[in-house]
A and B are shown apart, each in its own frame.
Chain A
Amino acid sequence: MVLLLIALFIMIILLEIVPLAKEQQWKELIVASVLLIAGFILSMLIMFDIDFPYLAPVISDFVEKWLALPGS
């Protein structure tokens, strides 16, 4: 699964990032690369079973705590 994911990212780089370099769109290349690197790191962490907090409970706790919803 990890290898499959790496292959997928390589494909994305070949199809998305390389054409940007060829067309010398450096600003687009930097923004897209940063987002893609973030995605790659996160997906690798998930693959290696690093526990992330789920987002919905974090938002729920925040909203309930700070807005003092009825019944919380």
Chain B
Amino acid sequence: MALEKGRINSTSLTMLIFGFAVGSSIIAPPGRGAGTDAWFAILIGITEGLLIAAVFLLLSKRFPNKTLVEISDLVYGPYLGKIISILFLCYLFHLGSLVLSDFIEYLSSLFLIRTPPIVLVAAMSLICVSAAKKGIEVIARCAVILVYVGLFFYLLTILLLLKNFEIKYLQPVLTIPAEQLLWAAHGAATFPFAETVAFLMVLPFLTNKRDAVPATFKGIIFAGLVLTIDAVLNIGILGASEKVYLYPSYYAITTISIAEIITRVEIVASLLVLAYGFLKIAVLLYGVSLGAAQLCSLRSYRPLVMPVAVLMSILALYNFPNPAEYIRFNNKIYPVYALPFQLVIPLLTLLIAVIKKPDQRDVNSEPKGRRSPTESRRR
């Protein structure tokens, strides 16, 4: 019996990847280490992100019906495979808690100042639990709706912001050292584009497996362009002071004031950002629960969603002691910390799979899981 019966089409996957990649990156924009050249760093980051995505997509193409947990079992054997799977799931789990932390910090420092963080984290987690329990098909359908609504408001915000935009803030272009630019670009690649490696837990449920590559690439490029425009707007509106803000996109939007009637648009923008964050956390929660269920050979991943969410929420409260640590971790540490999970594990698995050539019957079989008692009796 398959642990997941839902199927998603390529459009849903593109939207899901778009929402996932934009997710928390719109509140903490990538490539900021490059200063006014952040937009260029993001463009280079998209290229690196696509290369990393190509690796996990090749792996997925080789094992079209398998998640990374099942692939590891086939490629490395039952023991080493389980260790690799646990490492990967720990990364997804930690990533989920980091995204939750981002949103809790964002909400509690700008809007809900007197609300205890534990209440915010519980509210956000419960919505994600509800979506993750319904399965990948429901998350993907949510993505389609939320991305279209989000894009409409995003375009509206751009139009409203153009009045405050100053091209001179973007000049001179490319003045920072190449090393600094490339480091910022690498940072942009690892957060958020290469984080789409989490979709190794989702790609087996794509209706038409041939669409995986174009749908993933489209999602990453689309998200990259939105983040690039966001970076250009932030710098063009806030100028050099952009780098002192923890949430530059938020402060850029606060400048919108049309005849003092249309103001406080940042609330609407933040709600949409929150919606994208929901998509990202839901996908990660789903991935961790499904992976853990496959690891323990369970019949269903659903009983694990709530306990995993509880643990993720607790970790979210214990990620960063202060904003300085948050900036240090995001700018300096995360690009190194994430690379083994985003690139090394998929690349190593792909190389070993090419050399080892596992049995084709195992490769093409449907995802494993214990049979339910009723199904066993029927057989």
Residues of A within 8 A of B (CB): 1, 8, 12, 15-17, 20, 24-25, 27-29, 31-32, 35-36, 38-40, 42-43, 46, 52, 54-57, 59-60, 63-64, 67, 69, 71
Contact = CB atoms under 8 A, between A and B. Distances in A.
B243 interface: no
Closest 3 CB pairs of A and B: A35-B307, A39-B310, A32-B303
A52 B33 CA distance: 30
9 contacts: A25-B298, A28-B303, A29-B303, A32-B307, A35-B307, A36-B306, A55-B318, A56-B320, A56-B333
Contacts of A29: 303
Given A27-B298, A28-B299, A63 B307 contact: no
Given A16-B306, A27-B299, 12 more contacts: A12-B310, A20-B303, A24-B373, A31-B296, A35-B311, A39-B311, A43-B314, A46-B317, A56-B326, A60-B333, A69-B332, A71-B332
B307 A60 contact: no
Contacts of B307: 12, 16, 32, 35-36, 38-39
A60 B328 contact: yes
B304 interface: yes
Q: Is the interface of B mostly helix, strand, loop or mixed?
A: helix
Given A12-B310, A25-B299, A31-B296, A60 B304 contact: no
Nearest to A61: B333
Given A16-B306, A35-B307, A60 B296 contact: no
